[in-house]
């Protein structure tokens, strides 16, 4: 959506200035309104129970999310009995999880990317991130695709040749592993919270709201790091989060094969569509450095716990459901799901490609056969620098301001539709993604309004719809 360059001028008094109106200040708000505070406290209190509820529903109630509520309301069961039936923490699960995280740390820190040397189209190795609110540009070692390939190659090698561990081991220890993931999620979030006070990576990019709950959940440090290269945001989202996503699906597929002697077309669809999405993420990991997660969000419980627990446990609900309910779709249903997912992916990828092309060429490009159009705007960073951006109004970005999210939602719906219509549980993902992306639209636009001021109003006049033209 935007291409950015820096242009600063100094007045006779030594302060940065610009002709015309002063641009808006960039960065997250310093104060927390009551609605945000209530939302933060609610998520801190209830999000871990939401994850447990969905996983427990599959483990104890064949993925029915209403049956436990009915039994509780009729007095046929109690919360304590549900809790007692859930597998507890085990040291075997702890060892599995520790090996998994340690292996991903090793791949992230000790195996520099070599893929970009053999595939020129792939952008890997050391890359610059976006400018932070304090005016800094961090460097990142981009090797996610390599980590993904090594991890999955080892899974297949083990499943078909070495047999170091059962190819269903993650499913067999799924709930005990959840307790381990929670321990890591809370540990890293608490560490990041304390680190921000005592030894921040860059104090100028820290924001303290004065509210301990908001600080803990949404984070204080912008880019917490250990040493030069271990970046909390990039590692926890990409490695124990997104690498695990498709790997978990493979364990589910192996479990379905073990239980029923075959793999359903619905399971294959879920694996293929989600693998396309994940591979797209890692192929374009450098692009991720310019997204809202890296460019705006501070690192707190929202990202730390979310990447360790919420993402691997709730983004994989379709595969988990299909272990308990091996749905075999009709050819027409399977084809419709595949087309929905592929069209959604085309929109998602094309929109992101257009934005990336626009940024790389600083607006000097053609989109849909025409010269790109844009809105010129400016903003001020915390170091007093004046920066200039261009907001794209061509291609999919002229259709709506977040049309890539529309494609994302189509992909999400395809995952869910692959599970048939027998239960509500697989459709949690599309409900969640709709809430997440609509909220992200609003949050991103609030940030952009503060960042660009009157220039943002010019942009919204040129592109009036957020997601769906004529609707929203």
Count of CB atoms situated within 10 Å of the CB of 88: 10
462 contacts 437 by C-beta, under 8 angstroms: no
Q: What is the mean pLDDT of residues 210-220?
A: 88
pLDDT interval class at 1 (50, 70, 90): low
The rounded percent of the chain whose pLDDT value lies above 90 is 65
Pairing outcome for strands 137-142 and 125-131 = antiparallel
Q: Tell me if residue 36 falls in helix, strand or coil.
A: helix
CA angle 313, 217, 187 (to 5 degrees): 65
Number of Cβ within 10 Å of residue 368's Cβ equals 11
Surface-to-core class of residue 471, CB atoms within 10 Å of its CB (0-12 exposed, 13-18 middle, 19+ buried) = exposed
> What one-character DSSP code corresponds to residue 207?
-
pLDDT one-digit tens code per residue, 90-127: 999 999 999 999 999 999 999 999 999 999 889 999 99
Token digits of residue 185 = 């999620």
Residue 70 has which token pair? 């009915």
The answer to whether residue 16 scores a pLDDT higher than 80 is no
Q: In this model, does residue 37 exceed pLDDT 70? A: yes
Q: Give residue 146's pLDDT.
A: 96
CA distance linking residue 170 with residue 66, whole number of Å: 26
Other residues' Cβ atoms within 10 Å of the Cβ of residue 262? 10
* pLDDT number for residue 26: 45
Beta-bridged to residue 392, according to DSSP, are 374
Task: Identify which has the larger pLDDT, 255 or 17.
Answer: 255
The CA distances from residue 362 to 133, 290, 381, in Å, are 21, 15, 20
DSSP code for 10: E
The two tokens of residue 326 are 């091996």
User: Which pLDDT band holds residue 382 (cuts at 50, 70, 90)?
Assistant: low
Task: Please state the length of the chain.
Answer: 472
pLDDT at 3 over 50: no
> What's the pLDDT score for residue 388?
81
What is the sign, positive or negative, of the torsion defined by CA atoms of 268, 271, 273, 276?
negative
Query: How many Cα atoms sit within 13 Å of 414 on the Cβ side?
Result: 27
Show the tokens assigned to 382: 């915390």
CA distance 469 to 45: 37
Q: What is the mean pLDDT of residues 373-400?
A: 85
| Dist CA 57 CA 108 (whole Å) | 35
Query: 232-242: per-residue pLDDT in tens?
Result: 999 998 888 89
Q: What pLDDT is attached to residue 17?
A: 36
Mean pLDDT score, 426-434: 96
DSSP 204: G
Q: Which of 220, 246, 44 is nearest to 155 (CA)?
A: 246
The strand ranges marked E within 315-396 are 366-367, 370-371, 374-380, 386-392
159-188 pLDDT per residue, tens: 999 999 999 999 999 999 999 999 999 999
4 pLDDT above the threshold of 80? no
pLDDT at residue number 225: 92
CB atoms within 10 A of CB 45: 9
């Amino acid at each position: 959506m935007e291409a950015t360059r820096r242009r600063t001028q100094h007045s006779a008094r030594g302060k940065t200035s610009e002709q015309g109106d002063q641009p808006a200040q960039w960065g997250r708000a310093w104060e927390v309104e009551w609605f945000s505070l209530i939302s933060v406290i609610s998520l801190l209190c209830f999000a871990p129970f939401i994850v447990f509820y969905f996983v427990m529903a599959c483990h104890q109630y064949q993925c029915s999310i209403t049956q436990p509520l009915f039994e509780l309301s009729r007095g046929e069961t109690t919360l304590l009995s549900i809790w007692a039936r859930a597998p507890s923490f085990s040291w075997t699960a702890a060892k599995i999880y520790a090996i998994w995280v340690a292996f991903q740390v090793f791949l992230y820190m000790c195996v520099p990317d070599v893929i970009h040397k053999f595939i020129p189209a792939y952008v890997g190795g050391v890359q610059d991130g976006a400018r932070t609110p304090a005016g800094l540009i961090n460097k990142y070692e981009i090797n996610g695709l390599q980590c993904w390939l090594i991890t999955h190659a080892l899974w297949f090698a083990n499943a078909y040749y070495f047999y170091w561990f059962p190819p269903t081991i993650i499913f067999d220890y799924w709930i005990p592993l959840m307790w381990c993931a929670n321990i890591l999620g809370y540990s890293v979030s608490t560490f990041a919270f304390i680190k921000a006070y005592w030894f921040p990576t860059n104090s100028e990019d820290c924001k303290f709201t004065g509210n301990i709950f908001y600080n803990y959940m949404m984070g204080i440090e912008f880019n917490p790091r250990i040493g030069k290269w271990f970046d909390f945001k990039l590692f926890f989202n990409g490695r124990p989060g997104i690498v695990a996503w498709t790997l978990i699906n493979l364990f589910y597929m192996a479990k379905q094969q073990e239980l029923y002697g075959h793999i359903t077309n619905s399971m294959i669809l879920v694996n293929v569509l989600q693998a396309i999405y994940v591979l797209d993420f890692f192929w374009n990991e450098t692009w991720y450095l310019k997204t809202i997660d890296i460019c705006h969000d501070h690192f707190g419980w929202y990202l730390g716990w979310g990447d360790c627990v919420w993402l691997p446990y709730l983004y994989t609900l379709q595969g988990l459901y299909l272990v308990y309910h091996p749905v075999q779709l009709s050819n027409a249903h399977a084809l419709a799901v595949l087309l929905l997912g592929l069209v959604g992916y085309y929109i998602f990828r094309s929109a992101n490609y257009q934005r990336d092309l626009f940024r790389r060429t600083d607006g000097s490009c053609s989109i849909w056969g025409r010269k790109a159009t844009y809105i010129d705007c400016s903003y001020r960073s915390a170091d007093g620098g004046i920066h200039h951006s261009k907001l794209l109004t061509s291609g999919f970005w002229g259709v709506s301001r977040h049309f890539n999210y529309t494609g994302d939602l189509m992909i999400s719906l395809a995952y869910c539709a692959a599970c048939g219509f027998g239960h509500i549980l697989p459709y949690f993902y599309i409900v969640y993604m709709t809430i997440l992306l609509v909220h992200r639209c609003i949050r991103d636009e609030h940030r952009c309004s503060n960042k660009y001021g009157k220039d943002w109003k010019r942009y919204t006049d040129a592109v009036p719809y957020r997601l769906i033209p004529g609707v929203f």
